[in-house]
Amino acid sequence: MALWWWQQLRAERPLVDLRLVSRPLVGLPHVAALLTGFAFYANSLVTAQLVQAPKATGYGLGLSIVQTGLCLLPGGVTMLLLSPVSARISAARGPRITLALGAAVIACGYVVRIADSRDLWMIILGATVVSTGTTLAYSALPTLILRAVPAEQTASANGVNVLMRTIGQATSSAAVAAVLVHHTSPVGGLPVPTLHGYLMAFAMAGAIALAAAATALTIPGDSADGGTRRARGRTRGSRDEALEGA
C-alpha cells in the first residue's frame, strides 16, 4: 500500500489522484462511505443468522434459507421505492444532509432491533428501517463526490468511494463475527451465539452509523452549488432573451 501510494503521487497520469483524497470535500465522503458500509452490512449479516437460529436458543425462529430471504425482501423493495425520495431530499437540502439523515435512520433501525429481536414482524421492521437509511446514504455519496472533483476525475473518485463501502462491509463482517464468537452458549452440544451477542452487534453497528452521520455533517458545504444554480439561471435568461430577439 505504501509503495502504491508513493507511485501514484509521482505518476504522470495516476489511477487515483491521492491529492484529491486529502481534501475534506473528497476525503470525508470516503470516510462516511466506509462507516455507512459497516453499519449497513451488519443488518443483513446478523438478521440472517438470527432468524435461522434454532428455537432451542430461546430467541431463534428456526427459519429456512428461503424464509430468511423473504424476511429481507421488504428491505430490498423499500430501497427500490425510496430512491426518488432520496433524490428529492438531496435537491432540496443537499446531499450532505441526505447522507447524515440516512445514517441517522440506520441508527434508528438498530434501536428497533435492540428493543425487540424476538418477534418476526419487529425483526422485519427494524431491518427495513436500516435499509431505508442505507438508501438515503448510498444515493447521496456519488452526488457529493461529483460535486467535489473535476469532471475527468469522477470515475476514479467514485470507484474509490465504492471501494471504501466494500472495505466497510468486510470490516463489519469481521467485527460482527468477533462479537458473536465471544458470546456463545451450548445448544445441542454446539456453541451458538447468544441473544446478548446479537444485541451487542446491533449496538456496535448503530454507534458506527451515528459516527457516519457526524462525519457527514462535518463535510464542508458546497458553496459553489448556489453559484451553479445562479449560473444556470443566467444561462436560461440569456437563452430566452436570444430567442426573443430572434
pLDDT digit of tens for each residue in the chain (246 aa)? 889 888 888 888 887 777 888 888 999 999 999 999 999 999 988 999 999 999 988 898 999 999 999 998 999 899 888 888 888 999 899 999 999 999 999 999 999 999 998 899 999 999 999 999 999 999 999 999 988 888 888 888 898 899 999 999 999 999 999 999 999 988 888 889 999 999 999 999 999 999 999 999 999 975 444 433 433 443 344 334 333 333
User: Is there a domain that residue 166 lies in?
Assistant: yes
Contacts of the segment 23-28: beta carbons below 8 A, 24+ positions apart: 23/148, 24/218, 24/219, 24/220, 25/144, 25/147, 25/148, 25/219, 25/220, 25/222, 26/145, 26/148, 26/149, 26/157, 28/215, 28/216, 28/218, 28/219
Amino acid at 44: S
User: Is there a domain that residue 232 lies in?
Assistant: no
User: Is there a domain that residue 102 lies in?
Assistant: yes
User: Is there a domain that residue 244 lies in?
Assistant: no
User: Is there a domain that residue 62 lies in?
Assistant: yes
User: Is there a domain that residue 226 lies in?
Assistant: no
User: Is there a domain that residue 8 lies in?
Assistant: no
- The rounded distance, in Å, linking the Cα atoms of 173 and 162 is 17
Residue 187: which H helix or E strand, with range? Answer: strand 184-187
- The rounded distance, in Å, linking the Cα atoms of 163 and 160 is 5
The whole-number pLDDT of residue 232 equals 41
User: Is there a domain that residue 3 lies in?
Assistant: no
The whole-number pLDDT of residue 246 equals 37
Residue 37: which H helix or E strand, with range? Answer: helix 24-52
The whole-number pLDDT of residue 222 equals 54
Q: Which residues span the domain enclosing 74? A: 21-220
Enter the C-alpha cell of residue 199: 444485541
Enter the C-alpha cell of residue 104: 441517522
CB contact at 8 A, 158 and 139? no
pTM over 0.75, yes/no: yes
DSSP 153: G
**CB atoms closer than 10 angstroms to residue 141:** 25
> Into how many domains does the chain fold?
1
CATH code for the domain of 214? 1.20.1250.20
